[in-house]
Structure 1
Amino acid sequence: MNKKIVVLGGGESGVGAAILAKDKGMDVFLSDYGKIAPHYKQQLIDEGIAWEEGGHDESRILAADEVIKSPGIAPTAPIMVKIAERGIPVISEIEFAGRYTDAKMVCITGSNGKTTTTLLTYHILKNAGINVGLAGNVGSSLALQVAREHHDVYVIELSSFQLENMYEFKANIAVMLNITPDHLDRYDYKMQNYVNAKFRIIRNLTPEDAFIFWQDDPVIQAQLRQVTTEARMYPFSEHLEKDVDAYIDADDELVLNTSHTSLKMPRNHLALHGLHNLYNSMAAGLSACLLDIRKEDIRRALEDFEGVEHRLEYVATVNGVRYINDSKATNVNSCWYALESMPKGVVLILGGKDKGNDYTEIESLVKEKVKAIVCMGKDNAKLLDFFTGKVDAIYDTHSLQDAVDTCAAIAASGDTVLLSPCCASFDLFSSYEDRGRQFKDAVKRLK
């Protein structure tokens, strides 16, 4: 009898998983409690896969042999509780896809910098002529690529949500950029639960595999004292420390050292600027070295990478004021990195759906660099309470257009208007991409 697979969630990962399950001869049903986007519906129709939207057929779902859950569905959702009560195994799309490929896996996680590092690693490998796929939070569904394409290597961005339901899946190179508080509403407001989810990336690593991580992250260091891995360790740091494999030397050159490849290049040749991007470049460079990419290919790709939309993205200069779109900064630590790379004279736009944020992390940088804060959200009370009196001026706005108009009115030539919200976008926008695009449109209207 065919294995009964139920896929929950009709987005990129869910539809990809359903197609792979169909191709493997399984009995597949996809269910989405909300609406499925028209292009995903069409894919399901074209593939002849049974689906539903706007609710769950519980009897059909609870008859599954295995459930593939989209990462955005919380384990506390009513249908998930019923699935757990029945003892039905629940896995992620990444876990499912990993069963059907022997490609090498470069898996990247961290609270901040994941997307940049993933795209940079992919850029290096693709430009070096590797048959490489891009998956996870960026690119196409891993399951769909495994079903319909063939790649020798996959570069995969993994969120804590995706890692939650991974068990047998194995990375060949696991990258941990940093861990700072994020998504605590998903983890019972317990930081350790979030850390445990992140560290699932090192599950199943063997002595032939590699673990690349930021040496100076206190949360990573504390967890490494509690867990063990057989993988070879490749820590990176800003400066040379004991045992680090990537650092900046006394001549301001980036040094990458692995058992496979060693290379040096001037730091000022890196395409990406700022301390956080230095770490992203180190992690991507170490991954490429371990995959035996030629030194000249690594250097060239680190020099010509063009960055990520919505991450410290320059938009325009209007009346001498620079406008920067950092809409991807959906947590406080992301905003810290953005402010760290800015000159003084920042007009900072904050606000959105608060995920249990602690703003003390950016307090000293705000006092040092920010001349005004413009709050932008349905409810700005927490931001107003925290920052009033800590900056010269603070404003309460409830739409993006009002926020941008306010910034334009108070910013002087030489200032920087920085959208780096610290919060999720779902109070006023459909996604951080939607927020970023609307910001760019509003800035262009200022000209």
Structure 2
Amino acid sequence: VSVLYWLTAKRTIMDQVIEALRAGSPDAAALFATATRGCSNADLTAASGVTSLPNDFGKDHSTLQEVKLPPSITTVGDGCFAGAAALRQLDVGHLRSLTTIGSDFCANAKKLKGPVALPASVTSIGSGFCRNTRALRGADFSRATGLTALPDDCLRGSGVAAVALPPNVHSIGDRFASGADQLERLEIAHLSCLQRVGAHFCSHTDSLRGELAFPPGVSVFGPDLLACTPLVTNVDLSRCDKLESIPDRAFFSSNVTRIALPASSLRSIGGYFAADATMLEHLDLSELSALREIGDQFCAGAMRLQGDMALPPSVVSVGDWFMRNTPLVRKVDMSAATELTALPDHVLFASGVEVVELPPKVEAIGDHFAAHARSLSRCDVSQLNSLREIGASFCANASLANRLDAASVPDTVANIGDNFARPPVAVASPPTPAVTSAAT
């Protein structure tokens, strides 16, 4: 009798849930939590006339493993099924009338397996969509042709291995798939409408691999674009002919080997661009006809970057620590940069450069220029008639230092810092230990 009473009470409450949903009452969320307490399944497919789920519907439910939604649903509110600890299956792909999904849909539902597929009718999803869904293995937005924006934190920290993006998407918000460490494949080259990619796009995605080619329409990137991505090898931005600026840390501490930049539009490169990208081998700036500014720590610590680096004529400024610790770059040519009048501190510090061609109109060279550049053999300052100041430790501990003296400096220089061209200090070999006899 007690079991029958319990089941009857459950059905009565579920009837109240359906009536509340039909009426659009916010009380439906609390009633649903009560009606399904201790249950593993909830089937709402027979609830005809229900067009929306209120905010927090199913939120933090501890036992539900599968939920079937009414086919008439058009709107899902904020926080629905967020933190549903046991939820494994929730299909929205068959909801042909669904247009709007609110923020944090299924966020932190860590057992949700999916894959999650959006129906063609969806035009809007809220921030945090399926974030931190660690068991989720796929997300398919490709049928949602009316979905033009992916919000912040969409799929952030999820377990997705593959994502199919909506074909007409214009913008991708901040932290899209950031920290999704199982993500292996992401195709974006075909997204002809894409204009904006937010900060931390796929940063810290440990399994994302191969080449990423961005479509021509992209004009804005956020910081940390592909920072800390160990398996992405090639990045092609060359078709992004509306891109004027690359923000800070775009490829910081990544393992990218080759980066192709847009030749005609790019005006500035942010700080820490490819800094500590220890696998980077090829990067050409010489054809970037609009480039004017290069930020701090450009390619600093790019241990495998090789060949020559030439600045285009348009460059007017470079940041501190420009190309420090780049042991395989043999020549740096700044001679075409006639508007570059100041070189900051630590340019080419501890690099492997052998030849440096300086900007012809440079007026000031900062501290530690080419200091510890042990292979440096040529860096002529004698013809720099605009040069007024040379900072401390210019070429100090570089091999060139043995052939530099005050006579090499043009008469225009009014100030030379300490340790100018200090020769490398010879390190004495440790004494050979005496050989002692084993005889007693």
| TM-score of the pair, normalised by structure 2 | 0.23
Q: Which has the higher contact order (CA 8 A, sep 6+)?
A: 1
Structure with the largest fraction of helix? 1
Structure with the largest fraction of strand? 1
| TM-score of the pair, normalised by structure 1 | 0.23
